[in-house]
Amino acid sequence: MSMLSSDPHPPDFTAVFAALADPTRRAILARLAEGEAGVMDLAAPFDISQPAVSRHLKVLEGAGLITRRVDGTRRPCRLAGAPLAEVEAWLGHLRATLTERYDRLDDVLAAMQAEPAPPTKAARATGITRKKRNPNKEK
* Domain locations in the chain as residue ranges: 1-139
Chain-wide mean pLDDT for the chain?
84
CB neighbours (10 Å) of residue 63?
19
Phi first, then psi: give them for residue 95, nearest 5 degrees.
-60, -45
For residue 42, the model assigns a pLDDT of 92
CATH fold of the domain at 1-139:
Arc Repressor Mutant, subunit A (1.10.10)
pLDDT surpasses 70 at 64 = yes
Q: Which of 88, 82, 85, 91 is nearest to 3 (CA)?
A: 91
pLDDT at 1 over 80: no
Angstrom distance (rounded) from CA 60 to CA 65 = 5
pTM: 0.65
DSSP code string of 95-129 = HHHHHHHHHHHHHHHHHHHHSPPPPPHHHHHHTPP
